[in-house]
Structure 1
Amino acid sequence: METANLDEKKDVATPTKTFASFILLDKAELDNELLQRLIREDWNLSFAETSMNEDRQILVADVNGMTLAISLMPAPIPDQEAVKNAKTNFRWPGAVEVAEQHKAHILVALMNKEKPVEEAAKLFVKICSSCLKLPHATAINTLGTVFEPDFYINAAKTTLDQDELPILNLVFFGIYSEDGKTVSAYTFGMEQFNKRNMEVLNSLHDPNEVMEFLYDIVGYVLEQDVLLQDGETIGFSEEERLPITLIDSSILEQKTLQIGF
């Protein structure tokens, strides 16, 4: 990756302290013993409960110096949030129907005070991945979208087994076309790492090329911990100089970095 005036600039702002997602359920049931067994079998990870309510539907534990809270909410996510978010996932045609039918959800939250954000992110994805193996889990509502269990579980396993950052579990890549001729794409989730989300607007490239390009940029930014700046350029060769422009995003309602691709 070639950049202009980029390599020495680090993001010194404080990353997120809490990761949170919702596991959709077709029945209001949480088997904490089973969940802990799944986590142990999947990731060789065990933890001691620090507290548990009487009906064992809320678990709080210390895991590697971070506080994990898993809570059963015996009702759908309020305000049709899951249904609205499901509409953004172009990869899963059945996302909206699954979201409409969920009867309850599990709140998974990980509070991190001192550990590197990458370590917290990996642990959080491990916990959520195992939660999705519970008998009544149907989807995960996270990153402003709804993911299919198999997609989330496989993406986690493929990367975490190699101790790599599970980017597809932590950043959503959306894509759309306003005119049917060009392709636009965006990221959602970079703010967890105190990075700006990125967009490619009205590109003439193939949709797969656009998504692969954006994925590679995200991987570079997160793995190298760099801070892209308005007015700089970025590219995959010495000759390639793609402009970076800070814009007011019309789709995310926040400032994003538009990359000219």
Structure 2
Amino acid sequence: MLWKKKIKDDKPDSKIILGMIMLNDIDPFNLDNLVEDYNSTYDNEIQESLGDNSSAVLTIAGQTVIVGHIPTPIPSGDIEGTAEYAYNWVNALNDTKDHKSHLIISVMGSKQNQIARFKIFTQVLCSLLRTTNAIGVYKGNQSILVPKVDYLKEASRMTDDYLPLNLWIYFGLQTNDKGNSGYTYGLKEFGKTEMEILNSSKDLEDIRGFLFNMTHYVLDYDVAFKSGQTCGLSADEKIKITLSKGKLAEGDTFKFAY
């Protein structure tokens, strides 16, 4: 069973947060409905909105968010390449093949806290999902495809103590005759090093859960691991960490002997 191929990412790091929403029709979003939904749902209201139903610039908590409607589908090759490994959305190819247009949402570069910016990004996407004929979200930078209902459900759990990492980070899983493996794809968006577990005797669910918890810990507490350290999810657990060239992702990664 192979959940994700080896990643090759030649794109330079960017502080722009970018995502897309697939739509069932060619109708643009409604700016007034977007603003009303956002301001009635979240504490950090949209301070300013400029533009129209095809293209708008929003200011939220000092962040500039751009929403644009593209009256054509996302290129099929982009969707197919990600859908092949979207184990969270088994019918992704069939469910998205007839979408008519899409929205592009971007949070422009900023020196402000990246987690706070991702939260704003997530909130804007949710308001657009609720006020359009949306199918789901595509985030190519992290190889993420999420159906509308699942995105809204996971985002509703977002608090100061819980980060909706399933919407921000891809947790790749792989199995072969040497054991089970897993890795993160998207930590670099937060200025962190990707993580891997290789050829483990643990089952895939345990590996994914461990990577999710470690990722949450690293982001929540702004942790910077060092090669040779140990970590664990309990006081007694001592899992060795090493830094070396990635096996399932490009660049150096932290390997956990889990």
Is residue 88–residue 145 contact of structure 1 (8 Å, CA) maintained in 2? no
Instruction: State the shift of 1:99 in Å.
Output: 3.1
Matches within 5 A, 1:86-235: 86-142=83-139, 143-160=142-159, 164-179=162-177, 182-235=179-232
Letter paired with 2:174: Y
For residues 76 and 248 of structure 1, the distance between their equivalents in structure 2, rounded to whole angstroms, comes to: 37
Hey, what's the Cα distance between the residues in 2 that align with 1:207 and 1:99? 27
Matched residue SS, 1:177 = strand
Q: Residues 59 and 69 of structure 1 are in contact (CA less than 8 Å); yes or no, is this contact kept in structure 2?
A: yes
Shift of 1:48: 4.5
State the TM-score, normalizing by the size of structure 2: 0.85
Give the root-mean-square deviation of aligned CA atoms: 2.2
Give how far 1:102 is off: 2.1
Q: Does 1:241 align with 2:238?
A: yes
- The structural deviation recorded for 1:71 is 0.3
Letter in 1 for 2:32: E
Q: What displacement does 1:40 show?
A: 2.3
Match of 1:186, SS?
A: strand
> Shift of residue 245 of structure 1?
2.3
Matches of 1:79 and 1:135, distance apart in 2: 21
What is the letter of the counterpart of residue 244 of structure 2? I
1:64-79 to 2 correspondence within 5 Å? 64-78=61-75
3-state SS of 1:201 partner: strand
Task: State the match for 1:85 in structure 2.
Answer: 82
The percent of aligned pairs where both chains have the same amino acid is 26
Distance in 2, Cα, partners of 1:230 & 1:102: 46
Mapped to 2, the partners of 1:111 and 1:35 lie a distance apart of 19
Matched residue SS, 2:130: coil
TM-score by length of 1: 0.84
Amino acid at match of 2:138: N
Structure 1 position 70, deviation (Å):
0.4
Please give the alpha-carbon distance, in whole angstroms, between the structure 2 residues aligned to 1:208 and 1:111: 35
Matched with 1:41 is: 40
Q: Unaligned 5+ residue runs, structure 2?
A: 1-12
Structure 1 pair 209/86, CA: closer, same or farther in 2 (3 Å)? same
Q: Deviations over 1:34-89 (max 9, x none)?
A: 22222223324532545315xx3000021111101000011122362122112221
Asked if structure 2 preserves the Cα contact closer than 8 Å seen for 1:82 and 1:145, the reply is no
Which sits farther off after the overlay, 217-226 or 151-160? 151-160
Distance 2:34 2:73 in 1: 21
The letter of the residue matching 1:37 is E
Shift of 1:113: 2.1
Are the aligned partners of 2:154 and 2:164 in contact in 1 as well (CA < 8 Å)? Answer: yes
Seen in structure 2, the aligned counterparts of structure 1 residues 117 and 81 have a Cα distance that, compared at 3 Å, is same
The AA in structure 2 aligned to 1:127 is V
How far apart are the structure 1 equivalents of 2:250 and 2:150? 27
- The C-alpha deviation readout for 1:154-198, integer Å capped at 9, x for no partner, is 1111123x563322222222212123x722111111111100111
Aligned counterpart, 1:26:
24
- Which whole-Å CA distance do the structure 2 matches of 1:16 and 1:154 have between them? 28
